[in-house]
Chains A and B, each alone.
Chain A
Amino acid sequence: MTDLHVNFAGVSLKNPVVVASGTFGFGREYGAFYDLSELGAICVKGLTLSQRAGNPPPRIAETPGGMLNAVGLQNPGVDGFIARELPELRRHDVKIIANISGNTVEEYGILCQKLAAVSVDMLELNISCPNVKEGGLAFGTSPQSAAAVTAEAKRNAGTVPVMVKLSPNVTDIVSIAKAVEDAGADAISMINTLLGMRIDIHTRRPVLRNNTGGLSGPAILPIAIRMVYQVRQAVSIPILGMGGITTGEDAVEFLLAGANAIAVGSANFQNPYAPLLVRDGIASYMQENGISRVDRLTNGVQTWTPCRASCEEELT
Protein backbone atom coordinates (compact mmCIF):
# COMPACT_ATOMS: atom_id res chain seq x y z
CA MET A 1 0.00 0.00 0.00
CA THR A 2 1.54 3.30 -1.08
CA ASP A 3 0.53 6.44 0.76
CA LEU A 4 1.02 9.47 -1.48
CA HIS A 5 -0.54 11.91 0.95
CA VAL A 6 1.65 14.83 2.05
CA ASN A 7 1.15 17.43 4.76
CA PHE A 8 2.73 20.45 3.12
CA ALA A 9 3.04 23.39 5.53
CA GLY A 10 -0.30 22.47 7.04
CA VAL A 11 -1.98 21.97 3.65
CA SER A 12 -3.12 18.42 3.10
CA LEU A 13 -2.18 17.26 -0.41
CA LYS A 14 -3.63 13.94 -1.61
CA ASN A 15 -0.43 13.42 -3.54
CA PRO A 16 2.82 15.41 -3.84
CA VAL A 17 2.20 16.42 -7.47
CA VAL A 18 1.44 20.10 -8.00
CA VAL A 19 1.26 21.93 -11.32
CA ALA A 20 3.51 24.96 -11.63
CA SER A 21 2.30 28.52 -11.96
CA GLY A 22 2.17 29.86 -15.50
CA THR A 23 2.01 26.44 -17.11
CA PHE A 24 -1.57 25.58 -16.23
CA GLY A 25 -3.60 28.79 -16.59
CA PHE A 26 -6.49 28.54 -14.14
CA GLY A 27 -7.04 24.88 -14.86
CA ARG A 28 -9.79 25.16 -17.47
CA GLU A 29 -7.76 23.94 -20.44
CA TYR A 30 -6.20 20.84 -18.87
CA GLY A 31 -9.48 20.16 -17.10
CA ALA A 32 -10.69 19.12 -20.56
CA PHE A 33 -8.14 16.27 -20.55
CA TYR A 34 -8.61 14.87 -17.02
CA ASP A 35 -10.29 15.49 -13.68
CA LEU A 36 -8.30 18.18 -11.86
CA SER A 37 -9.11 16.43 -8.57
CA GLU A 38 -6.37 13.95 -9.49
CA LEU A 39 -3.75 16.58 -8.65
CA GLY A 40 -2.29 17.49 -5.28
CA ALA A 41 -2.58 21.22 -5.90
CA ILE A 42 -2.75 23.80 -8.67
CA CYS A 43 -0.53 26.88 -8.64
CA VAL A 44 -2.55 29.32 -10.70
CA LYS A 45 -1.17 31.74 -13.27
CA GLY A 46 0.63 34.64 -11.58
CA LEU A 47 -1.77 37.31 -10.36
CA THR A 48 -1.18 41.03 -10.08
CA LEU A 49 -3.28 43.78 -8.51
CA SER A 50 -4.45 45.15 -11.86
CA GLN A 51 -4.88 43.09 -15.00
CA ARG A 52 -1.86 42.92 -17.30
CA ALA A 53 -1.76 42.54 -21.08
CA GLY A 54 1.63 40.80 -21.09
CA ASN A 55 4.53 41.11 -23.53
CA PRO A 56 4.30 41.35 -27.33
CA PRO A 57 5.04 38.14 -29.28
CA PRO A 58 7.06 36.09 -29.92
CA ARG A 59 6.93 34.97 -26.30
CA ILE A 60 8.22 31.41 -26.83
CA ALA A 61 11.46 29.88 -28.11
CA GLU A 62 12.54 26.25 -28.31
CA THR A 63 15.90 25.41 -26.69
CA PRO A 64 17.92 22.20 -26.33
CA GLY A 65 15.96 20.21 -23.76
CA GLY A 66 13.55 22.96 -22.95
CA MET A 67 12.15 26.35 -23.82
CA LEU A 68 12.28 30.06 -23.15
CA ASN A 69 9.23 32.10 -22.29
CA ALA A 70 8.60 35.79 -21.88
CA VAL A 71 4.84 35.97 -21.34
CA GLY A 72 5.14 38.92 -18.98
CA LEU A 73 2.52 38.03 -16.36
CA GLN A 74 -0.54 38.39 -18.59
CA ASN A 75 -3.44 37.90 -16.17
CA PRO A 76 -6.95 39.18 -15.42
CA GLY A 77 -5.91 40.80 -12.12
CA VAL A 78 -6.64 39.45 -8.66
CA ASP A 79 -10.26 40.66 -8.67
CA GLY A 80 -10.92 39.08 -12.05
CA PHE A 81 -9.45 35.82 -10.76
CA ILE A 82 -11.62 35.87 -7.64
CA ALA A 83 -14.77 36.71 -9.61
CA ARG A 84 -14.38 34.47 -12.66
CA GLU A 85 -11.77 31.77 -12.16
CA LEU A 86 -11.81 30.80 -8.48
CA PRO A 87 -15.46 29.62 -8.40
CA GLU A 88 -14.72 27.35 -11.38
CA LEU A 89 -11.58 25.93 -9.73
CA ARG A 90 -13.45 25.33 -6.48
CA ARG A 91 -15.67 22.80 -8.23
CA HIS A 92 -12.74 20.39 -8.10
CA ASP A 93 -11.36 18.62 -5.03
CA VAL A 94 -7.88 20.10 -5.40
CA LYS A 95 -5.89 22.59 -3.31
CA ILE A 96 -5.55 26.04 -4.84
CA ILE A 97 -2.29 27.93 -4.52
CA ALA A 98 -2.55 31.57 -5.60
CA ASN A 99 0.67 32.85 -7.14
CA ILE A 100 1.05 36.61 -6.71
CA SER A 101 3.39 39.28 -7.98
CA GLY A 102 3.58 42.86 -6.76
CA ASN A 103 5.30 46.01 -7.97
CA THR A 104 5.88 47.13 -4.39
CA VAL A 105 6.10 45.45 -0.99
CA GLU A 106 2.70 46.97 -0.11
CA GLU A 107 1.08 45.40 -3.18
CA TYR A 108 2.07 41.93 -1.95
CA GLY A 109 0.24 42.76 1.29
CA ILE A 110 -2.93 43.86 -0.51
CA LEU A 111 -2.87 40.78 -2.75
CA CYS A 112 -2.51 38.52 0.29
CA GLN A 113 -5.41 40.22 2.07
CA LYS A 114 -7.71 39.84 -0.93
CA LEU A 115 -6.85 36.18 -1.44
CA ALA A 116 -6.88 35.26 2.25
CA ALA A 117 -10.39 36.75 2.41
CA VAL A 118 -11.57 34.16 -0.14
CA SER A 119 -9.64 31.36 1.59
CA VAL A 120 -7.28 30.11 -1.08
CA ASP A 121 -5.36 27.16 0.35
CA MET A 122 -1.94 28.73 0.03
CA LEU A 123 -0.18 31.82 -1.27
CA GLU A 124 2.92 31.64 -3.44
CA LEU A 125 4.96 34.83 -3.66
CA ASN A 126 6.53 35.30 -7.05
CA ILE A 127 9.62 37.33 -6.22
CA SER A 128 11.46 35.95 -9.18
CA CYS A 129 9.72 36.67 -12.49
CA PRO A 130 12.46 37.44 -15.00
CA ASN A 131 10.09 38.87 -17.62
CA VAL A 132 8.69 42.06 -16.15
CA LYS A 133 10.57 45.31 -15.85
CA GLU A 134 9.50 46.45 -12.41
CA GLY A 135 9.37 44.51 -9.12
CA GLY A 136 9.42 40.81 -9.84
CA LEU A 137 12.96 39.57 -9.93
CA ALA A 138 14.30 42.55 -8.01
CA PHE A 139 12.69 41.38 -4.76
CA GLY A 140 14.09 37.91 -5.17
CA THR A 141 17.72 38.81 -5.64
CA SER A 142 18.59 40.19 -2.21
CA PRO A 143 17.95 38.55 1.18
CA GLN A 144 16.74 41.86 2.65
CA SER A 145 14.07 42.60 0.04
CA ALA A 146 12.98 38.94 -0.10
CA ALA A 147 12.54 39.03 3.69
CA ALA A 148 10.65 42.32 3.54
CA VAL A 149 8.15 40.96 1.00
CA THR A 150 7.74 37.75 3.02
CA ALA A 151 7.11 39.62 6.28
CA GLU A 152 4.54 41.89 4.61
CA ALA A 153 2.77 38.88 3.11
CA LYS A 154 2.68 37.10 6.48
CA ARG A 155 1.18 40.18 8.16
CA ASN A 156 -1.66 40.16 5.66
CA ALA A 157 -2.27 36.48 4.95
CA GLY A 158 -4.09 35.59 8.16
CA THR A 159 -4.04 31.83 8.57
CA VAL A 160 -3.23 31.10 4.90
CA PRO A 161 0.28 29.62 4.61
CA VAL A 162 2.77 31.67 2.62
CA MET A 163 5.22 30.01 0.23
CA VAL A 164 8.01 32.00 -1.41
CA LYS A 165 9.18 31.10 -4.92
CA LEU A 166 12.91 31.54 -5.25
CA SER A 167 14.85 32.69 -8.27
CA PRO A 168 17.87 30.70 -9.44
CA ASN A 169 19.25 33.90 -10.98
CA VAL A 170 21.18 34.79 -7.84
CA THR A 171 24.70 34.31 -6.52
CA ASP A 172 23.66 32.58 -3.30
CA ILE A 173 20.19 31.03 -3.21
CA VAL A 174 20.80 29.62 0.29
CA SER A 175 21.10 33.06 1.88
CA ILE A 176 17.77 34.07 0.33
CA ALA A 177 16.10 30.85 1.47
CA LYS A 178 17.31 31.45 5.03
CA ALA A 179 16.15 35.08 4.92
CA VAL A 180 12.59 34.17 3.89
CA GLU A 181 12.43 31.39 6.49
CA ASP A 182 13.54 33.84 9.17
CA ALA A 183 10.93 36.33 7.92
CA GLY A 184 8.21 33.75 8.58
CA ALA A 185 7.75 31.92 5.27
CA ASP A 186 5.82 28.67 5.72
CA ALA A 187 7.34 27.02 2.63
CA ILE A 188 9.66 27.59 -0.30
CA SER A 189 9.05 26.74 -3.94
CA MET A 190 12.03 26.45 -6.23
CA ILE A 191 13.22 26.99 -8.82
CA ASN A 192 11.74 29.65 -11.05
CA THR A 193 13.12 29.88 -14.60
CA LEU A 194 16.72 30.71 -15.44
CA LEU A 195 17.29 33.82 -17.50
CA GLY A 196 18.18 32.90 -21.08
CA MET A 197 18.36 34.19 -24.64
CA ARG A 198 18.32 32.90 -28.21
CA ILE A 199 19.20 34.70 -31.41
CA ASP A 200 17.91 34.07 -34.92
CA ILE A 201 21.17 34.06 -36.90
CA HIS A 202 19.41 34.95 -40.15
CA THR A 203 17.70 38.09 -38.90
CA ARG A 204 20.24 38.75 -36.10
CA ARG A 205 17.28 39.41 -33.84
CA PRO A 206 16.59 37.71 -30.53
CA VAL A 207 13.87 35.08 -31.02
CA LEU A 208 11.88 36.60 -28.15
CA ARG A 209 10.43 40.08 -28.62
CA ASN A 210 11.46 40.67 -24.97
CA ASN A 211 15.05 39.77 -26.02
CA THR A 212 15.48 37.52 -22.96
CA GLY A 213 13.22 35.03 -21.24
CA GLY A 214 12.97 32.31 -18.63
CA LEU A 215 14.46 28.90 -19.38
CA SER A 216 12.50 25.86 -18.25
CA GLY A 217 12.29 22.17 -19.10
CA PRO A 218 14.59 19.16 -18.61
CA ALA A 219 17.66 21.32 -19.36
CA ILE A 220 17.38 22.97 -15.92
CA LEU A 221 16.71 19.83 -13.87
CA PRO A 222 20.23 19.26 -12.50
CA ILE A 223 20.52 22.90 -11.47
CA ALA A 224 17.20 22.69 -9.66
CA ILE A 225 18.17 19.42 -7.92
CA ARG A 226 21.43 20.96 -6.73
CA MET A 227 19.68 24.07 -5.44
CA VAL A 228 16.94 22.11 -3.63
CA TYR A 229 19.66 19.99 -2.03
CA GLN A 230 21.63 23.07 -0.89
CA VAL A 231 18.56 24.84 0.47
CA ARG A 232 17.40 21.68 2.26
CA GLN A 233 20.66 21.67 4.22
CA ALA A 234 19.97 25.23 5.40
CA VAL A 235 16.23 25.48 6.10
CA SER A 236 13.65 23.33 7.84
CA ILE A 237 10.43 24.59 6.18
CA PRO A 238 8.88 22.45 3.42
CA ILE A 239 10.15 22.79 -0.16
CA LEU A 240 8.06 22.49 -3.32
CA GLY A 241 10.68 21.31 -5.82
CA MET A 242 10.42 21.99 -9.53
CA GLY A 243 12.51 22.44 -12.65
CA GLY A 244 12.33 20.13 -15.65
CA ILE A 245 10.34 17.28 -14.13
CA THR A 246 8.82 15.04 -16.80
CA THR A 247 8.76 11.61 -15.11
CA GLY A 248 8.18 9.96 -11.74
CA GLU A 249 11.92 9.27 -11.54
CA ASP A 250 12.66 12.98 -11.91
CA ALA A 251 10.20 13.70 -9.11
CA VAL A 252 11.81 11.10 -6.83
CA GLU A 253 15.16 12.81 -7.39
CA PHE A 254 13.69 16.09 -6.16
CA LEU A 255 12.17 14.38 -3.11
CA LEU A 256 15.49 12.70 -2.27
CA ALA A 257 17.26 16.04 -2.67
CA GLY A 258 15.00 17.49 0.01
CA ALA A 259 11.69 18.50 -1.57
CA ASN A 260 8.46 17.68 0.28
CA ALA A 261 6.30 17.99 -2.81
CA ILE A 262 7.07 18.64 -6.48
CA ALA A 263 5.62 20.64 -9.33
CA VAL A 264 5.28 19.76 -13.00
CA GLY A 265 5.65 22.77 -15.30
CA SER A 266 6.70 22.83 -18.94
CA ALA A 267 6.13 19.07 -19.24
CA ASN A 268 2.41 19.88 -19.37
CA PHE A 269 2.99 21.44 -22.80
CA GLN A 270 4.56 18.28 -24.17
CA ASN A 271 2.08 15.92 -22.61
CA PRO A 272 -1.17 17.12 -21.01
CA TYR A 273 -1.17 14.00 -18.85
CA ALA A 274 2.38 14.53 -17.54
CA PRO A 275 1.36 15.30 -13.91
CA LEU A 276 -0.60 12.04 -13.71
CA LEU A 277 2.28 10.04 -15.22
CA VAL A 278 4.62 11.64 -12.68
CA ARG A 279 2.27 10.74 -9.84
CA ASP A 280 1.97 7.14 -11.03
CA GLY A 281 5.74 6.97 -11.54
CA ILE A 282 6.36 8.01 -7.94
CA ALA A 283 3.92 5.32 -6.77
CA SER A 284 5.67 2.64 -8.89
CA TYR A 285 9.06 3.63 -7.49
CA MET A 286 7.68 3.34 -3.97
CA GLN A 287 6.19 -0.08 -4.68
CA GLU A 288 9.38 -1.39 -6.26
CA ASN A 289 11.44 -0.15 -3.32
CA GLY A 290 9.05 -1.11 -0.54
CA ILE A 291 8.42 2.46 0.57
CA SER A 292 5.00 2.90 2.13
CA ARG A 293 4.84 6.65 2.63
CA VAL A 294 6.00 9.24 0.12
CA ASP A 295 7.14 11.65 2.84
CA ARG A 296 9.81 9.09 3.80
CA LEU A 297 11.61 9.91 0.54
CA THR A 298 12.23 13.54 1.42
CA ASN A 299 15.88 14.33 2.02
CA GLY A 300 16.75 10.67 1.52
CA VAL A 301 19.84 11.32 -0.59
CA GLN A 302 22.97 9.74 0.83
CA THR A 303 25.68 12.12 -0.25
CA TRP A 304 29.26 10.98 -0.65
CA THR A 305 31.69 12.16 1.94
CA PRO A 306 33.69 15.01 0.42
CA CYS A 307 36.70 13.71 -1.46
CA ARG A 308 40.21 14.78 -0.52
CA ALA A 309 41.92 17.66 -2.26
CA SER A 310 43.85 15.22 -4.42
CA CYS A 311 40.68 14.35 -6.39
CA GLU A 312 40.48 17.89 -7.66
CA GLU A 313 44.16 18.07 -8.34
CA GLU A 314 43.94 15.13 -10.71
CA LEU A 315 41.53 17.09 -12.88
CA THR A 316 43.66 20.19 -13.18
Chain B
Amino acid sequence: MPIQKTCTILRSERLIPYGYSLVLDAGEIADTAHPGQFLQVQCDGQFLRRPISICDAGAGRIRIVFEIKGKGTQILAKKRVGDSVDVIGPLGHGFPIHGETVLLVGGGIGAAPLFFAARRCLGTVHAILGFRSANTAVLTEVFRSVCRQVDFTTEDGSLGESGFVDGPLRRRLEETKYTRILACGPQPMLRAVAKIAAEFNVPCFVSMEERMACGVGACLGCACKMKDGSYQRVCHDGPVFSASEVSFDD
Protein backbone atom coordinates (compact mmCIF):
# COMPACT_ATOMS: atom_id res chain seq x y z
CA MET B 1 0.00 0.00 0.00
CA PRO B 2 1.39 3.43 -0.88
CA ILE B 3 1.74 5.97 1.89
CA GLN B 4 2.49 9.68 2.02
CA LYS B 5 5.53 10.61 4.09
CA THR B 6 7.76 13.58 4.73
CA CYS B 7 11.28 12.16 4.44
CA THR B 8 14.53 13.64 5.69
CA ILE B 9 17.41 13.66 3.23
CA LEU B 10 20.31 11.65 4.63
CA ARG B 11 22.68 11.96 1.67
CA SER B 12 22.80 14.25 -1.32
CA GLU B 13 25.25 13.82 -4.15
CA ARG B 14 25.87 15.12 -7.64
CA LEU B 15 26.86 12.15 -9.78
CA ILE B 16 27.21 13.74 -13.21
CA PRO B 17 26.64 17.28 -14.57
CA TYR B 18 22.83 16.86 -14.60
CA GLY B 19 22.41 13.74 -12.48
CA TYR B 20 21.79 13.68 -8.74
CA SER B 21 21.38 11.09 -6.02
CA LEU B 22 19.37 11.52 -2.82
CA VAL B 23 19.10 9.05 0.05
CA LEU B 24 15.85 9.44 1.99
CA ASP B 25 14.82 8.33 5.42
CA ALA B 26 11.71 6.63 4.03
CA GLY B 27 10.64 4.21 6.77
CA GLU B 28 8.09 1.65 5.70
CA ILE B 29 8.11 2.90 2.09
CA ALA B 30 11.65 1.52 1.90
CA ASP B 31 10.69 -1.72 3.55
CA THR B 32 7.89 -2.51 1.10
CA ALA B 33 9.48 -1.12 -2.09
CA HIS B 34 9.99 -3.49 -5.02
CA PRO B 35 12.41 -2.93 -7.95
CA GLY B 36 10.78 -0.90 -10.74
CA GLN B 37 8.45 0.97 -8.41
CA PHE B 38 8.64 4.73 -8.04
CA LEU B 39 7.98 7.67 -5.72
CA GLN B 40 5.82 10.73 -6.41
CA VAL B 41 8.04 13.52 -5.11
CA GLN B 42 6.76 16.97 -4.20
CA CYS B 43 9.03 19.71 -5.55
CA ASP B 44 8.56 23.00 -3.69
CA GLY B 45 6.53 25.50 -5.68
CA GLN B 46 5.46 23.03 -8.37
CA PHE B 47 1.83 21.98 -8.53
CA LEU B 48 2.37 18.39 -9.62
CA ARG B 49 4.62 15.82 -8.01
CA ARG B 50 7.41 14.28 -10.08
CA PRO B 51 7.60 10.52 -10.56
CA ILE B 52 11.11 9.25 -9.79
CA SER B 53 12.04 5.60 -9.80
CA ILE B 54 13.60 3.91 -6.82
CA CYS B 55 17.31 3.15 -7.35
CA ASP B 56 17.78 1.21 -4.14
CA ALA B 57 15.91 0.52 -0.92
CA GLY B 58 16.55 -1.20 2.36
CA ALA B 59 16.83 -0.65 6.12
CA GLY B 60 14.32 2.19 6.04
CA ARG B 61 16.22 4.10 3.36
CA ILE B 62 15.47 4.82 -0.28
CA ARG B 63 17.90 6.09 -2.86
CA ILE B 64 16.63 7.98 -5.87
CA VAL B 65 18.84 8.94 -8.80
CA PHE B 66 17.44 11.46 -11.24
CA GLU B 67 18.37 13.79 -14.05
CA ILE B 68 17.44 17.47 -14.23
CA LYS B 69 14.75 17.60 -16.89
CA GLY B 70 12.87 20.76 -15.92
CA LYS B 71 11.89 23.02 -13.05
CA GLY B 72 10.72 20.28 -10.69
CA THR B 73 13.89 18.22 -10.83
CA GLN B 74 15.98 21.41 -10.74
CA ILE B 75 14.37 22.30 -7.40
CA LEU B 76 14.90 18.77 -6.13
CA ALA B 77 18.57 18.84 -7.12
CA LYS B 78 19.10 21.81 -4.77
CA LYS B 79 18.02 19.78 -1.73
CA ARG B 80 20.68 19.20 0.89
CA VAL B 81 21.24 16.79 3.77
CA GLY B 82 18.75 17.55 6.55
CA ASP B 83 16.16 19.05 4.19
CA SER B 84 12.92 17.16 3.80
CA VAL B 85 10.84 16.04 0.84
CA ASP B 86 7.23 14.93 0.78
CA VAL B 87 6.81 11.67 -1.12
CA ILE B 88 4.08 9.13 -1.91
CA GLY B 89 5.18 5.57 -2.48
CA PRO B 90 6.00 2.91 -3.27
CA LEU B 91 3.90 3.19 -6.44
CA GLY B 92 3.26 1.08 -9.51
CA HIS B 93 4.03 -2.45 -10.63
CA GLY B 94 7.72 -3.20 -10.87
CA PHE B 95 10.00 -5.75 -12.51
CA PRO B 96 9.64 -9.50 -12.11
CA ILE B 97 12.83 -10.46 -10.26
CA HIS B 98 12.74 -14.26 -10.37
CA GLY B 99 14.50 -16.18 -13.12
CA GLU B 100 17.79 -18.00 -13.46
CA THR B 101 19.61 -15.68 -15.85
CA VAL B 102 18.50 -12.10 -16.17
CA LEU B 103 19.79 -9.49 -18.58
CA LEU B 104 19.37 -5.83 -17.64
CA VAL B 105 19.48 -3.20 -20.37
CA GLY B 106 19.65 0.42 -19.27
CA GLY B 107 19.96 3.71 -21.10
CA GLY B 108 21.17 6.86 -19.36
CA ILE B 109 19.43 7.62 -16.07
CA GLY B 110 17.24 4.58 -16.82
CA ALA B 111 20.03 2.54 -15.26
CA ALA B 112 18.80 3.67 -11.82
CA PRO B 113 15.79 1.36 -11.27
CA LEU B 114 17.72 -1.52 -12.86
CA PHE B 115 20.28 -1.28 -10.09
CA PHE B 116 17.56 -2.08 -7.54
CA ALA B 117 16.49 -4.99 -9.77
CA ALA B 118 20.10 -6.21 -9.97
CA ARG B 119 20.34 -6.22 -6.19
CA ARG B 120 17.11 -8.16 -5.76
CA CYS B 121 17.26 -10.59 -8.68
CA LEU B 122 17.69 -14.12 -7.42
CA GLY B 123 19.59 -15.57 -10.39
CA THR B 124 22.68 -14.62 -12.37
CA VAL B 125 22.54 -11.02 -13.54
CA HIS B 126 24.23 -9.50 -16.58
CA ALA B 127 23.85 -5.85 -17.54
CA ILE B 128 24.32 -3.69 -20.60
CA LEU B 129 24.34 0.03 -19.91
CA GLY B 130 24.38 2.70 -22.59
CA PHE B 131 25.29 6.35 -22.01
CA ARG B 132 25.94 9.42 -24.12
CA SER B 133 29.56 9.57 -22.95
CA ALA B 134 31.76 8.61 -20.01
CA ASN B 135 31.00 11.86 -18.17
CA THR B 136 27.25 11.12 -18.14
CA ALA B 137 27.65 7.51 -16.98
CA VAL B 138 26.07 6.77 -13.60
CA LEU B 139 26.28 3.88 -11.15
CA THR B 140 28.97 2.09 -13.14
CA GLU B 141 30.94 0.84 -10.12
CA VAL B 142 27.92 -0.39 -8.15
CA PHE B 143 26.63 -2.28 -11.19
CA ARG B 144 30.01 -3.96 -11.52
CA SER B 145 29.79 -4.99 -7.89
CA VAL B 146 26.39 -6.70 -8.13
CA CYS B 147 26.35 -8.08 -11.69
CA ARG B 148 28.27 -11.07 -13.03
CA GLN B 149 29.07 -9.12 -16.20
CA VAL B 150 28.54 -5.51 -17.25
CA ASP B 151 28.96 -4.12 -20.78
CA PHE B 152 29.07 -0.40 -21.38
CA THR B 153 28.34 1.51 -24.55
CA THR B 154 28.70 5.21 -25.18
CA GLU B 155 27.70 7.23 -28.22
CA ASP B 156 31.18 8.76 -28.43
CA GLY B 157 33.12 5.66 -27.43
CA SER B 158 34.54 7.30 -24.29
CA LEU B 159 33.45 4.33 -22.16
CA GLY B 160 33.08 0.76 -23.37
CA GLU B 161 31.93 0.11 -26.89
CA SER B 162 31.06 2.94 -29.27
CA GLY B 163 27.40 3.12 -30.29
CA PHE B 164 24.10 2.01 -28.79
CA VAL B 165 23.19 -1.02 -26.68
CA ASP B 166 21.94 -3.04 -29.71
CA GLY B 167 25.32 -4.50 -30.61
CA PRO B 168 26.26 -6.01 -27.24
CA LEU B 169 22.61 -7.00 -26.72
CA ARG B 170 22.59 -9.20 -29.84
CA ARG B 171 25.95 -10.76 -28.92
CA ARG B 172 24.82 -11.55 -25.38
CA LEU B 173 21.59 -13.11 -26.64
CA GLU B 174 23.52 -15.25 -29.10
CA GLU B 175 25.89 -16.44 -26.35
CA THR B 176 23.51 -16.96 -23.43
CA LYS B 177 19.96 -18.23 -22.98
CA TYR B 178 18.38 -15.60 -20.72
CA THR B 179 15.21 -16.22 -18.71
CA ARG B 180 14.21 -12.59 -19.22
CA ILE B 181 15.32 -9.10 -20.14
CA LEU B 182 14.50 -6.09 -17.99
CA ALA B 183 14.94 -2.69 -19.63
CA CYS B 184 14.65 0.97 -18.74
CA GLY B 185 15.70 3.99 -20.76
CA PRO B 186 14.65 6.31 -23.56
CA GLN B 187 11.74 5.14 -25.67
CA PRO B 188 13.80 4.55 -28.88
CA MET B 189 16.10 2.26 -26.89
CA LEU B 190 13.17 0.38 -25.38
CA ARG B 191 11.65 -0.07 -28.83
CA ALA B 192 14.93 -1.53 -30.13
CA VAL B 193 15.37 -3.80 -27.11
CA ALA B 194 11.78 -5.06 -27.40
CA LYS B 195 12.31 -5.85 -31.07
CA ILE B 196 15.57 -7.73 -30.51
CA ALA B 197 14.13 -9.61 -27.50
CA ALA B 198 11.21 -10.75 -29.67
CA GLU B 199 13.64 -11.95 -32.38
CA PHE B 200 15.43 -14.09 -29.81
CA ASN B 201 12.16 -15.10 -28.19
CA VAL B 202 13.22 -13.90 -24.73
CA PRO B 203 10.50 -12.45 -22.47
CA CYS B 204 11.20 -8.75 -22.05
CA PHE B 205 9.88 -6.21 -19.56
CA VAL B 206 10.17 -2.48 -20.12
CA SER B 207 9.76 0.41 -17.68
CA MET B 208 7.82 3.19 -19.41
CA GLU B 209 7.93 6.90 -18.68
CA GLU B 210 5.14 9.46 -19.11
CA ARG B 211 4.05 12.81 -17.70
CA MET B 212 1.94 12.08 -14.63
CA ALA B 213 -0.51 13.91 -12.45
CA CYS B 214 -1.86 11.77 -9.61
CA GLY B 215 0.61 8.87 -9.82
CA VAL B 216 -1.86 6.49 -8.19
CA GLY B 217 -4.13 5.52 -11.10
CA ALA B 218 -7.02 7.93 -10.61
CA CYS B 219 -6.59 10.63 -13.24
CA LEU B 220 -5.67 8.61 -16.36
CA GLY B 221 -3.08 11.24 -17.20
CA CYS B 222 -0.15 8.92 -17.93
CA ALA B 223 -1.29 6.78 -20.82
CA CYS B 224 0.79 4.02 -22.41
CA LYS B 225 -0.57 2.73 -25.71
CA MET B 226 -0.89 -1.02 -25.91
CA LYS B 227 -0.92 -3.20 -29.03
CA ASP B 228 -4.67 -3.82 -28.66
CA GLY B 229 -5.27 -0.07 -29.03
CA SER B 230 -6.15 0.50 -25.38
CA TYR B 231 -4.31 2.82 -23.03
CA GLN B 232 -2.92 1.55 -19.75
CA ARG B 233 -1.90 3.73 -16.81
CA VAL B 234 1.88 3.98 -16.57
CA CYS B 235 1.61 4.82 -12.85
CA HIS B 236 -0.68 2.01 -11.80
CA ASP B 237 -0.74 -0.73 -14.46
CA GLY B 238 2.99 -0.07 -15.04
CA PRO B 239 5.48 1.50 -15.10
CA VAL B 240 6.81 -1.97 -16.02
CA PHE B 241 4.95 -3.67 -18.86
CA SER B 242 5.55 -6.78 -20.88
CA ALA B 243 7.32 -5.44 -23.98
CA SER B 244 5.22 -7.68 -26.22
CA GLU B 245 2.07 -5.79 -25.19
CA VAL B 246 3.32 -2.22 -25.59
CA SER B 247 2.76 -0.34 -28.83
CA PHE B 248 5.93 1.58 -29.61
CA ASP B 249 4.39 3.37 -32.61
CA ASP B 250 4.15 7.14 -32.35
Chain B residues with CB below 8 A from A54, complex form: 220, 223, 231
Q: Are A59 and B222 in contact (CB under 8 A)?
A: yes
Does residue B236 face the partner (Cβ distance < 8 Å to A)?
yes
Q: Are B223 and A29 in contact (CB under 8 A)?
A: no
Given known A-B contacts A32-B2, A54-B223, A272-B88, A60 and B47 have beta carbons under 8 A apart: no
Number of interface residues of A (CB under 8 A): 37
Chain A residues with CB below 8 A from B229, complex form: 53
Q: Are A71 and B42 in contact (CB under 8 A)?
A: no
Does residue B46 face the partner (Cβ distance < 8 Å to A)?
yes
Q: Are B216 and A266 in contact (CB under 8 A)?
A: no
Main secondary structure of the interface of B (DSSP, over half): loop
Does residue B97 face the partner (Cβ distance < 8 Å to A)?
no
For the complex, what is the distance from the CA of A24 to the CA of B210, rounded to whole Å?
A: 19
Does residue A304 face the partner (Cβ distance < 8 Å to B)?
no
Q: Are A266 and B213 in contact (CB under 8 A)?
A: yes
For the complex, what is the distance from the CA of A65 to the CA of B71, rounded to whole Å?
A: 13
Q: Are B236 and A270 in contact (CB under 8 A)?
A: no
Chain B residues with CB below 8 A from A24, complex form: 218
Partner of A25, one of B46, B217, B224, B225: B217
Q: Are B217 and A270 in contact (CB under 8 A)?
A: no
The smallest C-beta distance from A293 to any residue of chain B, in angstroms, reads 32
The smallest C-beta distance from A205 to any residue of chain B, in angstroms, reads 12
The smallest C-beta distance from B202 to any residue of chain A, in angstroms, reads 27
Q: Are A71 and B88 in contact (CB under 8 A)?
A: no
Q: Are B225 and A270 in contact (CB under 8 A)?
A: no
Does residue A268 face the partner (Cβ distance < 8 Å to B)?
yes
Does residue B9 face the partner (Cβ distance < 8 Å to A)?
no
Does residue A119 face the partner (Cβ distance < 8 Å to B)?
no
Does residue B59 face the partner (Cβ distance < 8 Å to A)?
no
Partner of B213, one of A74, A218, A269, A273: A269
Chain B residues with CB below 8 A from A67, complex form: 47-48, 213
Q: Are B231 and A62 in contact (CB under 8 A)?
A: no
- Name A81-107 residues within 8 Å CB distance of B: none
Q: Are A29 and B236 in contact (CB under 8 A)?
A: yes
Chain A residues with CB below 8 A from B236, complex form: 29
Partner of A60, one of B71, B72, B222: B222
- Name A37-61 residues within 8 Å CB distance of B: 45, 53-61
- Smallest Cβ-Cβ distance to B208: which chain A residue: A57
For the complex, what is the distance from the CA of A67 to the CA of B48, rounded to whole Å?
A: 8
Given known A-B contacts A32-B1, A62-B46, A269 and B211 have beta carbons under 8 A apart: no
Q: Are B2 and A71 in contact (CB under 8 A)?
A: no
Q: Are B218 and A23 in contact (CB under 8 A)?
A: yes
Chain B residues with CB below 8 A from A269, complex form: 48-49, 213-215, 218-219
- Smallest Cβ-Cβ distance to B215: which chain A residue: A269
Q: Are B221 and A60 in contact (CB under 8 A)?
A: yes
Q: Are B219 and A22 in contact (CB under 8 A)?
A: yes
Q: Are B223 and A271 in contact (CB under 8 A)?
A: no
Does residue B176 face the partner (Cβ distance < 8 Å to A)?
no
Given known A-B contacts A29-B217, A60-B212, A266-B213, A66 and B223 have beta carbons under 8 A apart: no
For the complex, what is the distance from the CA of A57 to the CA of B209, rounded to whole Å?
A: 11
- Interface, chain A (partner B; CB < 8 A): 22-25, 28-30, 32-33, 45, 53-63, 65-67, 69, 71, 74, 207, 217-218, 266, 268-273
Other CB < 8 Å A-B pairs besides A25-B219, A60-B48, 7 of them? A29-B216, A32-B2, A56-B223, A59-B211, A67-B47, A266-B213, A268-B218
> What are 28 A-B contacts with C-beta separation under 8 Å?
A22-B220, A25-B220, A29-B217, A29-B236, A32-B1, A53-B230, A54-B220, A56-B223, A56-B231, A57-B222, A57-B231, A59-B211, A59-B222, A60-B48, A60-B221, A61-B211, A62-B70, A66-B47, A67-B213, A69-B213, A71-B220, A71-B221, A71-B223, A207-B211, A269-B215, A270-B42, A271-B4, A272-B88
